[in-house]
Amino acid sequence: MTTAVQTTPLQDLLEQFARLHRQAHDTETKRVAIVASKGTLDMAYPALILATTAVSMGMECAVFFTFYGLNILHKRKSRSLQVAPLGNPAAPIPVPNILGAIPGMTWMATRVMHWMMRRQNMPSIQSLLETARSMGVKLIACSTTMGVMGVKESDLIDGVDIQGAASFLEFASKAHITLFI
């Protein structure tokens, strides 16, 4: 036979206090959800720098690579990410912006950026990706982008999850930090 447990108003109050106390001293793991939507060198770095830093700080992190951002996970394309000077006044090339339309200028800006990164001992995109993967950053390839752009699973680096928007949003709905890059 079971008997209903009666709680007194004081017990209710204490329970409520304990719950609020736990919330105030929130010790749950922080979660970071990043969308990487651009496939250029200058957009790949911020996403991977933030992701690797997040896991270093003890946070849980997932990066959803969608549209051109999927190139970052592409075995071949991730080795040749570029930065375009055309329409990018901040590009690392000291010439009038319109000259960025000349063939070879994107190549040159990309070379300059690689040089600037190496000069400061910055890791390559491949190296950052490997660090991210080994430290537990969840790398998610957008299944729609794969379909639209004809990317096969074998085109992507190892250790990538293939998911759609719903599963990423479920993860992001419990995130403390959400970034679209």
Partner 1 sequence: MTTPIAEHQTLDTSDTLCPLPVIAAKQATDKLARGQVLKVIATDPGSKADIPSWARSAGHTLLKWEVQGKKFVFWVQKG
Catalog residues that contact partner 1 under the rule CB under 8 A: 30, 49-50, 52-53, 55-59, 120-123, 131, 135
**Nearest distance from C-beta of residue 158 to partner 1, angstroms:** 21
Strands lying side by side in the sheet with 161-163:
161-163, 138-142, 60-65, 31-36, 177-180
Closest approach of partner 1 to the CB of residue 151, in Å? 27
Alpha-carbon span 134 to 12, nearest angstrom:
46
Q: How far is the CB of 123 from partner 1 (least distance, A)?
A: 7
Nearer to partner 1 (CB atom), residue 16 or residue 56: 56
139 in Cβ contact with 159 (< 8 Å): yes
Considering the complex, what minimum distance in angstroms separates the CB of residue 139 from partner 1?
16
Nearer residue to partner 1 within complex by CB, 117 or 157: 117
User: Amino acid identity of 29?
Assistant: T
Nearer to partner 1, 55 or 62 (CB): 55
Of the two residues 88 and 131, which places its CB atom closer to partner 1 in the complex? 131
The nearer residue to partner 1, 37 or 52, going by C-beta atoms, is 52
**HSE of 110 in the Cβ direction (CA atoms, 13 Å)?**
18
Task: State the first-to-last Cα distance of the chain, in angstroms, to the nearest integer.
Answer: 59
Cα separation of 86 and 31, whole Å? 36
- We find the least distance from the C-beta atom of residue 124 to partner 1, in angstroms, to be 12
